[in-house]
Structure formats: C-alpha cells, structure tokens
Structure 1
Amino acid sequence: MWLRITVFLFLLTITVTFAQNPVDTPPPTVPAQSSQLSTTPISETSIKGNAKILGYVIDSTLTRVVEFANVALYETTSGKLVDGAVADAKGKFSLTHIAPGSYRLLISFLGYNAKSVDNIVLTKGQVKDIGVVRLSSNTRTLGEVTVAGKKALVEDKVDRLIYNAENDVAAKGGDALDILRKVPMLSVDPTGNVSLQGSTSVRVLINNKPSSILAHNLADALRQIPADLIKTVEVITSPSAKYDAEGSGGIINIITKKNTLQGLHLDVDGGTGNRNSTLGLNGSFRKGKLGLNLNGNGRLIYNPSASDLDQTTFLATGATPVQTHQRIDAFDKGTFAQYALGLDYDLAKNQSLTAGVRLGVRNLSQDQHQLTNTFSSERIAAPFKRDVNTQNLSNSIDVNIDYLYTYEGSSKELSFSTQYSRSNLTNNFEASNLDTLGLISTRQQNLNDATNQEFILQADYQTPVSKMLQLEFGAKNTLRRVTSDYNYLLAGPTTDFNVDPSRPSGLLNYDQNISAAYLSTTFTLPGGVVLKPGLRYEYTSIQAQTGGTQTGGTSVGGPTPISIPDYGRLLPSINVGKKVGESSSLKFGYTRRIRRPFIDDLNPNFNTANPLNIRVGNPYLKPETVDRIEIGYSTQLKKTYLNFSLYTRLNTDDIQSISQRSDTLVGAVVTRVTNLGKEYNYGTNLFATINLTSKWSINANLDIMYRFIQGLALDVNGLSAMISNQGFRWGGRMDTQVQFDKGWVVQANIGYRGKDIALQGYRIGFAQYSLGARKSFTNKRGSVGIVAENFLTQGMRFTSILTSAQFEQDYRQYIYNSSVRATFSYKFGSLNGAKVKKNKSLSEEN
C-alpha cells in the first residue's frame, strides 16, 4: 500500500510542478543584513513593474559561492534605493516586480569589497540575467587587530551549525575523526566512537547522502575519509521534516571538497608514522558542460593493544561466586580504502544530472593471546590459554543518480534521486585452545557472513509561495534487506573442522520497507525572524525469518517467521531563528526522531571470540523514539565568537546493551541489545573562538550533561527487576593555531572527556592532545608537516566498571596511541575559469 502511495506522491509532484508557470511567483527574500538596506526606505517604484534581475555571487578566488550576500538596487538618476534582497545559500539572488528604467546594483558582504554593476536598463517584462558577480576579499581592522576577510570557523544557521574544516593544519595526513574531534557538540573517544551531545545514535551523511560504507562500523569508515578532503561538517541537532527520521541524537553531514573549475588537477596527500600510514588522491576534470571528480584514500594501521578483565559472577543466592582474571595481548593490522567517482553534466541551462559511485574496502584482523585464570573459595582452575585471530572484513558500494530541474527566473526546483547501496560483511574468528604445555588441544571457528543492502527512490519539490513563504514537499521509499548466515565449527589439533553441535548456528533474513512523505515550510517574518515548521510521516513494514540449526551449511527445519508488527510514526519538527542586532542570533528547535536498530544490533550470532565477554544481537528490537528540545544563542563580540545551547532529550524504548550472567559458560557474561526503557538527558554546550591577532586564534568547547537511565535487568536468581542509574558527564577541549612567516603554521590541541554513565555502571574519563606543524612551499602547490599525538606517554588506559546483582566487572583496555606522523601534500595540474553549479542531492537540505 505504501509503495503505491509513494508512487502517487511522485506523480502528484510532477503534475503540480509542470502545471505552474515557471516565472509567475517571486522567490522569498530574507530581511537585509546590511544596515544601509534596513534603514533606507524603499521606493514604490520597485513594485510597479514586472521586470526581473537575476544573478550569482561568488568569491573572486573562484572556489566557492558567497552565501547571503546583500544586494541593493538604486535608480541611476536619483540614487534612491528601490529594492533589496539577500542571496541564498547557493549565491543566487533575484529582484522582481521592477519598473522599466535605468538602475545600479550594489553587492556587498562582510569581509569582501562591495561591487557595483552600473547601467542596467530594463524594459517592460524583461528578465535581466547579469550572470556571475565576483567579490574580492578585503581586510578589516578591529581596534589593534587586523582580521583577513574569510569565512568564520563556525557558522550558526536556524537548523544547524557549520564547522569550516578547510584550514585544519594538524589534520593533514589524518582522517575524518581528527576533524570531528574539534567540531562543537561532538565527542570522539579513543576507539573512534562518535557522539553528539552525549548520544551515540547519530546519523552520518556524506554529501547529504547515507552510505552503506558507514552502516557497519562507523569509526573505521570515518578513518577512510582523508581530513584534507573535508570542506565542512554540518551538525544538525534539530533536523527538519525533509530529513529521514533515523538517528535519535541528530545528524552529522560531512561535505567533501568538489571542484567546479575548468581544467585538470590532482592533489596528493599522505602521511606515515609509527601507528598508521595514509595516501589520498583528489582529482577533477572539467570541460564545458561535463565535470568529473575522483578521490580515493588508502590507510594502513599497525597497532599493539592489551586489556585486563577482573570479573566476579554470582551463580545464585548463597552459592559460591566465581572469580576470573583475564589478560589479553593483541596486535591490530588493517587495510582500509575508499574510492569515489562523481560526474555532473548540464543537460540544459536549467537542468543538470549528477551521478556517483563510491567503493569501500575494510580488512581488519587482530591476533590475540588470551590467558584466563578462574577460581573460587572451593577450587582454583588451571590457567586457560587461547590464541584467537579475528577477521572483520567488508566491501561496500554506493551508486546514485540525481536529476535537478530549476525554473528560470524563480527559486522553484524539482529533483529526483535514486541510490543503491550494498555491503558484504564477514566477521569470523578462529581460536586455538592450548593445554598446559602450550600445545593446541582443540580449535574452534565462528563463520558469519552478512549483507546489508538498500534501494532508495526520492522526489523533492520546493517553490516560493510569496516573499515571506517557501514551501517544500516530497516523498521517499527505502527498501532495506539485512541477512546473516552464521555457524560454529570444531576441530582437533590436526583434524578437519566439523559442525559444533554445542553452539547455535542459523540464519536471519530481515526485510524492511520504509515509506515516507513530508511537508516543510519556511516563513521569513519581519524583525529578522525565520520560522521553519514541518511534518513527516514514516510507515515501516518488516518481514523477517530465521533458519534452523545448521548441519554442513544446510538449514534444518526450514525458515521460521519472526512476528514484528508494522508501525507508523508522525514526526513533527519546528525551528525558529531570530536575528538580534547586527551580530547575534537566537534559535529554538523541537524535533521527534526514530532510531531503528543497526545491522549489528539485529545479528543473532553468538560471538564467543572472548569466552568471558560474549555479545549477541536481537532481531526483535523495536525502534527507539526521541523527543528533543534545544535553545541556542550565538554572538560575535569583536574578536570573539560565542555559541551557547541548552537541550533536553527524552528517549522511549531506549535501545541499549545490557549484560547478564551466562547460563551455560561458567564465569562468563553475555551482552545483549534490547529495548531497555527510558532515558532522560539535560545538557548545555559552550563554544568560543577568539582571534587574538590576524594570525593567532584559539577555539574552546565545554559541554555538561546530566543523564538518567532506567530499564529492566535480571537479579541473582534470573528474575526481572527495574534498575536505574544517573549522573553528570562533562568534557572540554581547546585548540590553538598560529601562522608564522614563510608559510609556517603550528597547531595544538588538548581535550578531556569525563565519566560516562550507563545503566549498569560507568566508564572513566580520558584525555587526548596533539601538536602539529606545517610548512607550505613557496609556489603554494604543496606542503610538508609533522603531527604528534599523546606523545608524552606510551598510551592510555580506558576503564569500564559494570555492576549488577549477577556479576561485577572491571575492564581495562590499554590503547597504545602515542604516535608521530610526517605529512605531505602536492597539487598537480592547472585550473582556470569558473562555472557555478546547481546541485541537488539525496536528502539535501537548503
């Protein structure tokens, strides 16, 4: 049914769109930011005619558009201001309902020299396209400080915060995680897990698109993206109705650099060090209407690690507890690569086609030596030795095709997008159990092959209803399939592997169909108020089945259906922003989000790579629903930019991991993913950037959060009991960057993340720091540098404490991340000319 509704909405979109006159409605305008435009009365002349003026504003360096530039129209003879507008996020502007006559156009923006376009003569009904207007940067003096005109490090918009990452020195030769560690409201722990205002349920997009490369292991996928390829990072804590509802904590949108210049070029970036090495390529070719972009990155890691586990399990009331101590020494080896090819072609003046292919490869293996001692008051068992090799492999592909139709003389747009994604996942381990003499006694294998594939079809339409109202609506259908085929094999020291009858084996087929429709509006009100309400509806249907026990790779007993009810969700959102004076703004946001379970959450494979710490997924998981409210304030005080926010987040059917005593393996703990109950978060974030001089800046971030979490756990006798935990978590960091003469730049960073609360315990805090320097060549084509991280110690200890009625666990992980790497970059080829591109992509938000 919902597929039919989606098709109907697609056809309705097309019918409504092509039935309209492409030039009959003026585009919305934002109240002018220039004091000149806001205080000078506008002449009635501008509303007496039907002529129009169109154009684009770009930076004179030809690398980017100038967003929200001020546009003022003056009569040539009288010099009177007759109309004004603000360019949109693509640099496009339009002035409508202008009477015939002779005019002068003045275009300006903070940090740029104003530019005048003279002798614009309009006749009745004429549409005058003045083309591209290039603004050159200027230099402004604030007291004794000279600040070069350039984009601010952080930009605050009504529904998102934008971090401009293009000039990050220390990240040269690094990856996306090195950038995310410095973005306001984000936190990255030493293992690469990303959280947004305390929530790890974050939807990460690349160039406004979801990716199968990110679906399985986000931390490893982000390590495949070179830092130098990232242009901006958008943090969207209150997404509009246009975005998918997935990601209860919000959305992180990583925008990569794309070149629209004519010519051919290739950038090479890389680094090598004692823990990892990288090599990245970024090239583009453009001639006429055709543009090609190619980027790729390869990464090698070679890193030792270790852990200690002290665990006590309580078997039943009055029974003797079992105590275990485990030491693991390990070495990680990994090869990661990601390649992307993009194409864009101008079919006509107002039509464009874009397409892309993104490939990902992940090959991570770990060799472990486990030594386990088990004892109680009654007996002490002999030490148990076990050598384990884990293989975590995947290959992924994303293919997308997007079509955009823009209406001449208007900001109306129609777009169609489609994307296919597939990931093949292999998560295997082979273990050798050793006797007291160190000889192999038995061998064990767990083979787990899984796939995750999606097909997405989407249509979006936006149109101005009046100068104060912009309307957007669209529909989307997502078909998703997750499979997992797993089994256990057992062998002697030299014999072949056969099915292990004591371990569960089976398969999972999980089909999910998500149909969605949305309506979003943007009101531009007097007094600098922007109101953006929206409503989205998503209906999810699921068909799932499991297979029986495996015998020689064949399912016994046939598939068994899993009864999971279909569900629909109505998801409102509203964002309100208000300009306060010339340099401050207030905003309010409310949104309802959904977190659907990830592929690892669903996988029922019983993973015993570590027989004391076992993990298993849950195909019966329900979606988690989140209501979130945020209030924010930002201001520019001469040399200082401040951003302050308060938020609250309520999670119901909270998806969390919960641990309990194993019923079959003595001394072991099993961690399962389940819908626990509810979670409340109350937090605040403060970010500041200070330009001490034109060449020295400091950035600081502080966040504090109170968390309450409640859910069901098992008591010592295996009965369900309600438990809860609560507490504060805080963290902060500071970065500084200094530019010296002759192309030298130095950057330093230090950060600390405090204790984190979980339902059954907590995780202690950790600190990170780095120091980097870079020297640019005199020809500006390349640079060399060096970056050191956590270099004063060998590594860091990462401790988790879990406590319940059934067990107590003290887990200490040692991450040897003290590293030094040398970096380099060089640019080949030449570029000239410019072409302003109009791109619309899957899930894009204007």
Structure 2
Amino acid sequence: MKTFYQKLFALSFLILFVNIDLFAQTVEVETPVYKISGKVMESGSGEPVAYSAVSLIDVESGKTIAGAVADFDGEFIITNFTNGKYVVQVSFMGFEPFSSPTITVTDTNFDINLGNLSLSTDAVALQEVTVMGQRDLIEEKVDRTIYNAENDRTLVGGDAADVMRRVPMLSVDLDGNVSMRGSSNILVLINGKQSAIVASNVSEALKQIPAEEIKSIEVITSPSAKYDAEGTGGVINIVTKKNNLQGATLNINSSAGLRGSNLGLNASLKRGKMGWTLGGFGRAGYNILGSFENNQMVTGADGTVANIFQSADTRTNMMFGRYNFGWDYEINKFNFMTASVSFGLRNMQNRQDGLLTETFIEEELVNSLLRDVNTRNFSNNVDVNYNYTRTYEKPLKEFSISGLYSQNNLTNDFVNSLYNGTFDDILSRIKNNNLGRNQEFTIQLDYVTPIGDNKNQILEYGAKNILRRAESDFAYFTAEGSDGEFEKVDDINLSNEFSYDQNVTAAYASYMTNFLKDYSFKGGLRYEYTTINADFRNSEIDADIPSYGLLIPSVNLSRKLEKGNMIKAAYNRRVQRPFLNFLNPNINAANPQQITQGNPLLDPELTDNYEMSYSTYIKGSSLNFTTYFRNTTGSIQPVRTVTDNDVIYTTYENIGFERAYGFSVFSNINVSGKFSLNGSVDGYYADLTNGLDDPMFAASNQGFVISGRIFANYSLPKNWQIQSFAFARGRQVQLQGFAGGFGMYSLNLNKQFNENRGSIGFGAENFVTREMVIRNELNTPTIMQQGSNAMRNMNFKINFNYRIGKLSMDGPRRRKRGVTNDDIKEGGGDSGSGAIMNNN
C-alpha cells in the first residue's frame, strides 16, 4: 500500500499536469468583457440607495438573466450576459420600482454606463416616514437559509460562534459546540472549503474566525449529491467578506471590553485583471471566571455506593490569531485562477483552582483530595488553496479543478497537582502530553452543463479524492513535590503513538430541471469508497479496519405558489465518519474522577433525512415553516462505566439509534423603513437508545427540546443605529441524561461617520445577570450525577471600525469555486454528558 506521502506526491503531480494542459488551452484571443454599470440614487435628496437590488431582464422572454446588489455608494455592475435586448430593473424596500428603457447589447456596444438611476419613495406605503433601507438579515433560498451577518452590528468583537447563535435552526453552547436541529453531526465549511482545523475541532475553529470578517452563514439542511456525504445534520457554510472591485483599501476594526479585545487589519488591491488581499486579526480573552460543582453517586462492582462531591473555581485566558494572503487572476473572459494561503493559531489555558474531591461511603467521609489543574490547548494551522475555473460561451456551462493542502498541529496537555493531607504543599504531580497533527490533501473536479439548449435542465458531475492523516503522540509523566523532575510512565496504554490514514474517493452526478411551469426537481447520486489504516507504533494492538463503500442518494422537489410562496420537500442519506477526537486512544484524566478515552475502531454512522417546508410573504414580511424526521443507525454514543476505584470511565461505541421529529418557524418582519424584527423557534422530540439488553448498560431517553432567538434593528436619525439580540436554548436530551439550557442577550449602539467610512459604538452583553449557571444531570444504573457550570459573562465593550481608501465598480465579478471536504464527525474527548462538560 502506498504511504500517505507517496499518495500526496502523486496527486500533486496530477494537479500540476492537469493545470499545465488546461493553461495551454487558454491561450486565445482576448475577448471583450460585457458589463452594465450605474449608480442608484434617491430622487430629490441625491443620496445613494445602498444595497438596492438590480436585475437584468431579457425583453423577449421576460426572464432574469443576471443581477447585482449596489454597494455602500449605490454603485453597481452587472456581468455574465451576451448580446440581446434588455431592461434594467431596480427595487428596494420603501421605494417605487424603477425600469430603464430597452438596452440593446451588440458586439460593438457591450460596455454600457447608465449613469444615475433615481428611485422615488413609496409615499402611499410609508406615509411620509423617512426611509433608511436595510437588507434582510435572513434570506430563504431554494436549497438553503442565509443569515446576512454583515448587517448585524452587535457582533463587533465576537467570533463565528457568536454569529451562529443568531442563525435559525442552529444552536451553540457556551463552549462553541454547534448543532443543527439538535444534531451535532454537521459539516462546517469556510467559503465552501473545509480545513484541517475545522476537521479536528469545530468549536475551536469558530473562535479563530472574527465576526467582522463574516459576510453570511448558509444553512443547507438537505445537501445535494455534489456535497460530500458527511454531516448527518446538514451543511453550514461560513462565507467571509470578499472583494472583487477595483482600487485599494485598508480596513481597521477593533474592540476593547472587560473580558476581551481584538484588533484586525485587512487590505485589498485590485488592478486590472489581478487582485491581492492581505489580512490579519488577533483576539484576546481574559478575566473569564467561573466555577463548577458535581454531586455524583456511583455503585461499585461490590455494590458499595460512594457519594462524591467536587467543586472548583475556573479561570480561562485565550489568544487567537488568523492571517491570510489571497491572489486572483483573470486570464481572459473564460478563464480564472485563485490561490490563497492562511495561517491560524490558538493559545488557550484553562485552570481549575482548588479542585476539591470529597468521597463519602454511608455518610462517612473516607477521602478528601485537593488539586490544581492546568490545561493547555494550543494549535497552529496552515491552509493552501488553488482553484482554476473555465466558463464557456454557452451560459451556465463551467469546469473547475481545485486543490487543497491543510495541516493543523495540536497540543492538548494538562498538569494535575495533588496537595498533601494538610492542603499546604504539593505532594505529587501528573502530566499528560498529547501532541497531534492533522493533514489533508484534496483534489476535486467539477463540471456543470445545460442539456442541449435547454437552460431548464442542468447536469452536474465530478470526482474527488481526499488523503487524510491524523497522528497522536501521547505520554504520561509523574513527579514528586512541586519542583521534582517528571519521569515518563512505562505503560503502552498511557504512552504511545497512534496514526490514522484515511483515503476517500468519490464520484457524483446530479440532475436539475424545471417542469410543469412551477415545479423544480434536483436529484443526485454519490458513491464514496473509504480505505483506512490505523497503527499503534509501540504495541501489538490490532487496529485492522476494513474498507467500505457507500451509495448516497438525494432528492429535492419544490413548487412555486402564488404571491411568491413556495413549498419544498427533500430526502437525503448522510454519513458521519469519526475523527481524531473520537478515535484518539489517549486517556484524558485531567479530572481523575472522570476519564475519557477514544475508540480507534469506530465505524461511520448513517442517517436518513426527510424534510418539508413552506415559505410565504405577508405585507413585506417573510415566514418559513419546516417539519423534518431524522433517523440515525449505528449512532456513535458515549458508553460510561464505573471502574474499581469509583472513577467514571467514558468511551465511544457504534450502538443504537437516534430519532428526531422536529419543526422550525422563523420570520423576518419589516415593521417600517427604520425598524426590522426577526426571530425563530426550533423544536424537536428526541428518542435515543443504545439497543443493549443488559440492564447494567442499557440506556434510552426521550423528550422535547425547544430553542428560540429574536433580533431587532432600529435606525435612528444622524446615522445612529441600535440593535438588540436574545437567544435561549432549552434543556438538551442526551442518551444518559440532560444538558441544561441557558440564555444570552446583547445590546449595541453605533454611529457611522465620514460618509459611512467609519463607525464607533458601545455594546453590552448579559448586563443584567452577574453569571450564567447551567445545570446538568447524568443517569445510568450505576451512576447518578448532578452538576452545575457557572460562567461570569457580563461584558461591556467599545467598538471601532474605519475604512481607508475607496473601491470602484470597475471589473467583472467571478463566482469562485473551491474544495469542500464535508466528511468527518467532530467532537469526542470532552463531549458526552453536559454534566461533566467543563470538569476535565
């Protein structure tokens, strides 16, 4: 079998060979760039109408051929059209629609500037109310729901996890763990790509992405065959802000608060056919204090019941950074290249001060131990992307080839210091070093073409190969006193090296058509074949994992109703492969009473998803209702047992099933030109079982889970704006217990100045309650545990943002493609019962 590096070299050579061949084919005569530009202004005042929607309508067919959205200055540019007769239509809330005279585009008249287009206010509808337009925060598309994060000022100084708490159908706990409709088995992409850092730990990756750099969040609940089969709950795509304009600009954003500060610089330069971007962002978290308590009753093998009480104060400090460099080049009208390199780092330290463990047997105190625990969670990662796209004279026809190399280096260590019997001096220390590395190399080919001359029938097909290697080098050390030298523990179960090679080869085809005037159908089939090689370097442990193939179907059907309403139905099968945090055999014993170990022999889990949704519009407000059913077999679940010394031991197995029966409702309401309101409610009934017959290990649980959020935005005179947000998550049903619910809220006041180039504001988060307390419980035949985690997250902050330079709408917009690795289950390690979420 070829090694990982032999495969890496072979695929690198293939990419180089294919691109040399493709580039040789692109040397052709320069062709003109078709474009229509202009500026949307408010009639009378002459103020620009930012974010107005501009559409290019074919006169003969009446269909929309292309479109654009005006920028801050009301300027727009439309590309991607050919010769013909067109009408430009402009629309925006609170204004009467505008239609231009007929425009004739020919071989000699292909670059047209319409000048200033004036929109008149809709006086009847607004009754002399001053209009200050705002783009909708939530958009409903045929195959996805989009949250426009760039319009949410309350997010300044936050990260991607803060953004996702505002997105319908998503739930995020205090540690940044994301779930969609109650399922944490989701795929998270960044600009359509998955990097090694996302693969190893989604929650930590989200903390590295500043909220200010996020343009939107796309939630895809029923992915087509084009997407990797991974992610049983669906796909989340984080779209960052991009720039395809001409000129140079530098953006500075910063925030300073009681518990966190950040500073970001982003520059872009576009000259002719070539563009560059360079950016960096750093974020520090400090003064993050909290506490936890656990009360657990465990029954030993001899029937003895031990009552164990634990408590500690917690402190967290963190430092995150993300830096990127991007380049794009338009070879000619039909050929386009992009490349990018990004670096990220994470430095997080969690401390438990005075971890007190008291053990009682029949109300008699038999043991009392005091510890300090210091956990370090460091990482650095690099992503290198390349993409070549070729379009054709024939509309909608496109070919692309993409490559991705990603590496994430991980350090997850802890030191546990045990005090002597008088709690005066340190008696001994235990240290666990856990060094990990995740590598990915991916090549992807995609081809899209209409069938014949019929634009209503689209065929997509492609192929993909992912080479992935995960490594874990773990060891335990012991030392006497506070300054004794650490000595390695000679035990292959505690000190070993583990490697995990995975090769996923896939091919897909999908077909989309419109029929019977109002119906749309998209169906596809994807086949994935996976080979795995796992190895323990310092032992004879057999980790022979068989290869397997999966056939993944998907079907999406929609019907347009009157007045823009729509009904959709979908079915798809998804797969969730475990990754390093579930597989890692390192024993995590930071809290010696609750230890966790991964299982390298886990199989993937399979999920069937069924969904129906209805979208409607009432007086300018949108409503969406969705119902769904999700059935998962071979579910990866935690299995908890009690060891001889009354320690709770957690590992993972493919046992039982999960079923979820759910609904979601969300609405975006435009109360007036100044005030908008949106909110959502998500709920599902969860039914979980591990399918075991032995009463000592059999487990099942059922119950309803409800979550909700609301967001309000009000525009004040003189460029002031106030925004508020509130989120609540109900108690989560788990196989062996419940994770407590919690709520968060914020208020933000901002003022824009210098023609919207800069803004300054003040924000407050959770400003009424001193601390947030989450109560959890765990129940098995041998374990009863009740715990609480408290966090003091009241925060006040000052935000500042300023843009230097100006961009002009002079240059074509190109749709960029990239690699999308969607195929691994994130989590493990510290997952499981919420009752022990922060106790290790």
Could you state the TM-score of these two structures normalised by the residue count of structure 2?
A: 0.87
Structure 2 residue 771 is matched with structure 1 residue 795: yes
* 1:199 aligns with one of 183, 205, 216: 183
Contact 2:729–2:741 under 8 Å retained in 1? yes
Structure 2 residue 799 is matched with structure 1 residue 811: no
1:43 alignment counterpart: none
Contact 1:331–1:368 under 8 Å retained in 2? yes
Secondary structure (helix, strand or coil) at the match of 1:381 reads: strand
Structure 2 residue 145 is matched with structure 1 residue 168: no
2:746 alignment counterpart: 770
Cα displacement (A) at 1:84: 3.3
Structure 2 residue 473 is matched with structure 1 residue 481: no
> Cα–Cα, structure 1 residues 561 and 844, in superposed 2: closer, same or farther, change >3 Å?
closer
Contact 1:795–1:816 under 8 Å retained in 2? yes
Secondary structure (helix, strand or coil) at the match of 1:459 reads: strand
Cα displacement (A) at 1:419: 0.3
Q: Counterpart amino acid of 1:597?
A: P
> Cα–Cα, structure 1 residues 818 and 457, in superposed 2: closer, same or farther, change >3 Å?
same
- Number of aligned residue pairs: give it: 785
> Cα–Cα, structure 1 residues 12 and 158, in superposed 2: closer, same or farther, change >3 Å?
farther
**Equivalent runs, 1:725-736 vs 2, <5 Å:** 725-736=701-712
Secondary structure (helix, strand or coil) at the match of 1:838 reads: coil
Cα displacement (A) at 1:770: 1.1
Structure 2 residue 125 is matched with structure 1 residue 143: yes
Cα displacement (A) at 1:110: 3.8
2:665 alignment counterpart: 686
* 2:484 aligns with one of 484, 495, 504: 495
Structure 2 gap ranges (5+): 27-31, 42-47, 69-77, 822-840
Distance in 2 between residues matched to 1:154 and 1:651, nearest whole Å: 29
CA displacement, residues 118-149 of structure 1 (integer Å, 9 cap, x when unaligned): 46376xxx797557878968454673476666
Cα displacement (A) at 1:68: 9.0
Q: Counterpart amino acid of 2:432?
A: N
> Cα–Cα, structure 1 residues 273 and 398, in superposed 2: closer, same or farther, change >3 Å?
same
* 2:563 aligns with one of 574, 582, 590: 582
Cα displacement (A) at 1:506: 1.1
* 2:577 aligns with one of 569, 573, 596: 596
Cα displacement (A) at 1:296: 2.1
1:639 alignment counterpart: 620
Question: In terms of mean alpha carbon deviation, does 245-254 or 149-158 score higher?
Answer: 149-158
Distance in 2 between residues matched to 1:208 and 1:628, nearest whole Å: 22
Distance in 2 between residues matched to 1:263 and 1:649, nearest whole Å: 49
Secondary structure (helix, strand or coil) at the match of 1:488 reads: strand
**Equivalent runs, 1:661-740 vs 2, <5 Å:** 661-663=642-644, 666-712=645-691, 721-740=697-716
> Cα–Cα, structure 1 residues 309 and 517, in superposed 2: closer, same or farther, change >3 Å?
same
Distance in 2 between residues matched to 1:87 and 1:57, nearest whole Å: 15
Contact 2:82–2:105 under 8 Å retained in 1? no
2:269 alignment counterpart: 285
> Cα–Cα, structure 1 residues 843 and 69, in superposed 2: closer, same or farther, change >3 Å?
farther
Q: Counterpart amino acid of 2:486?
A: F
Secondary structure (helix, strand or coil) at the match of 2:154 reads: coil
> Cα–Cα, structure 1 residues 261 and 467, in superposed 2: closer, same or farther, change >3 Å?
closer
> Cα–Cα, structure 1 residues 709 and 389, in superposed 2: closer, same or farther, change >3 Å?
same
Q: Counterpart amino acid of 1:488?
A: Y
Contact 2:264–2:282 under 8 Å retained in 1? yes
Q: Counterpart amino acid of 1:471?
A: L
* 2:284 aligns with one of 300, 316, 319: 300
Q: Counterpart amino acid of 1:706?
A: Y
Cα displacement (A) at 1:695: 0.7
Cα displacement (A) at 1:536: 0.6
CA displacement, residues 358-377 of structure 1 (integer Å, 9 cap, x when unaligned): 11101111222211111102
Contact 2:285–2:318 under 8 Å retained in 1? yes
1:464 alignment counterpart: 450
2:300 alignment counterpart: 315
Question: In terms of mean alpha carbon deviation, does 524-533 or 328-337 score higher?
Answer: 524-533
Distance in 2 between residues matched to 1:748 and 1:587, nearest whole Å: 32
Structure 2 residue 318 is matched with structure 1 residue 334: yes
2:639 alignment counterpart: 658
Distance in 1 between residues matched to 2:585 and 2:591, nearest whole Å: 16
Contact 1:636–1:642 under 8 Å retained in 2? yes
Q: Percent identity?
A: 39
* 2:384 aligns with one of 394, 399, 405: 399
Cα displacement (A) at 1:811: 1.7
Cα displacement (A) at 1:409: 4.3
Distance in 1 between residues matched to 2:39 and 2:472, nearest whole Å: 51
Question: In terms of mean alpha carbon deviation, does 295-304 or 600-609 score higher?
Answer: 295-304
Cα displacement (A) at 1:793: 1.4
CA displacement, residues 7-49 of structure 1 (integer Å, 9 cap, x when unaligned): 999999999999x99xxxxxxxxxxxxxxxxxxxxxxxxxxxx
CA displacement, residues 212-235 of structure 1 (integer Å, 9 cap, x when unaligned): 222233223212222121111110
Q: Counterpart amino acid of 1:87?
A: I
Cα displacement (A) at 1:180: 1.2
> Cα–Cα, structure 1 residues 269 and 16, in superposed 2: closer, same or farther, change >3 Å?
closer
> Cα–Cα, structure 1 residues 16 and 435, in superposed 2: closer, same or farther, change >3 Å?
closer
* 1:748 aligns with one of 724, 748, 759: 724
Q: Counterpart amino acid of 2:266?
A: N
Contact 2:375–2:413 under 8 Å retained in 1? yes
Distance in 1 between residues matched to 2:592 and 2:691, nearest whole Å: 24
Q: Counterpart amino acid of 2:601?
A: Y
1:534 alignment counterpart: 524
* 1:412 aligns with one of 397, 405, 425: 397
Distance in 2 between residues matched to 1:540 and 1:507, nearest whole Å: 23
CA displacement, residues 498-531 of structure 1 (integer Å, 9 cap, x when unaligned): 1224662211110000000010111022422221
Contact 1:597–1:622 under 8 Å retained in 2? yes
Secondary structure (helix, strand or coil) at the match of 1:822 reads: strand
* 1:190 aligns with one of 171, 174, 177: 174
> Cα–Cα, structure 1 residues 14 and 264, in superposed 2: closer, same or farther, change >3 Å?
closer
Structure 2 residue 570 is matched with structure 1 residue 570: no
Distance in 1 between residues matched to 2:409 and 2:480, nearest whole Å: 30
Could you state the TM-score of these two structures normalised by the residue count of structure 1?
A: 0.87
Secondary structure (helix, strand or coil) at the match of 2:176 reads: coil
* 1:371 aligns with one of 333, 353, 356: 356
1:83 alignment counterpart: 61
Contact 1:6–1:517 under 8 Å retained in 2? no
Secondary structure (helix, strand or coil) at the match of 1:543 reads: strand
> Cα–Cα, structure 1 residues 56 and 659, in superposed 2: closer, same or farther, change >3 Å?
farther
1:106 alignment counterpart: 87
Distance in 2 between residues matched to 1:824 and 1:606, nearest whole Å: 45
Cα displacement (A) at 1:832: 2.3
CA displacement, residues 280-327 of structure 1 (integer Å, 9 cap, x when unaligned): 22221111111111222111111112110111110136x220111011
Contact 1:57–1:65 under 8 Å retained in 2? no
Structure 2 residue 537 is matched with structure 1 residue 547: yes
Question: In terms of mean alpha carbon deviation, does 147-156 or 480-489 score higher?
Answer: 147-156
Contact 1:57–1:69 under 8 Å retained in 2? no
Cα displacement (A) at 1:150: 5.7
Contact 2:752–2:759 under 8 Å retained in 1? yes
**Equivalent runs, 1:198-347 vs 2, <5 Å:** 198-302=182-286, 303-316=288-301, 319-347=303-331
2:73 alignment counterpart: none
Cα displacement (A) at 1:703: 1.0
Distance in 2 between residues matched to 1:13 and 1:518, nearest whole Å: 20
Q: Counterpart amino acid of 2:159?
A: D
2:344 alignment counterpart: 360
Cα displacement (A) at 1:723: 2.4
Q: Counterpart amino acid of 1:272?
A: A
1:623 alignment counterpart: 604
Contact 2:408–2:439 under 8 Å retained in 1? yes
Q: Counterpart amino acid of 1:416?
A: I
CA displacement, residues 602-641 of structure 1 (integer Å, 9 cap, x when unaligned): 1110011011121111111110111111111111111321
Secondary structure (helix, strand or coil) at the match of 1:329 reads: strand
Structure 1 gap ranges (5+): 22-51, 74-81, 97-102, 549-556
Q: Counterpart amino acid of 2:336?
A: S
> Cα–Cα, structure 1 residues 68 and 784, in superposed 2: closer, same or farther, change >3 Å?
closer
> Cα–Cα, structure 1 residues 206 and 59, in superposed 2: closer, same or farther, change >3 Å?
farther
Contact 2:501–2:533 under 8 Å retained in 1? yes
Question: In terms of mean alpha carbon deviation, does 58-67 or 141-150 score higher?
Answer: 58-67
2:827 alignment counterpart: none
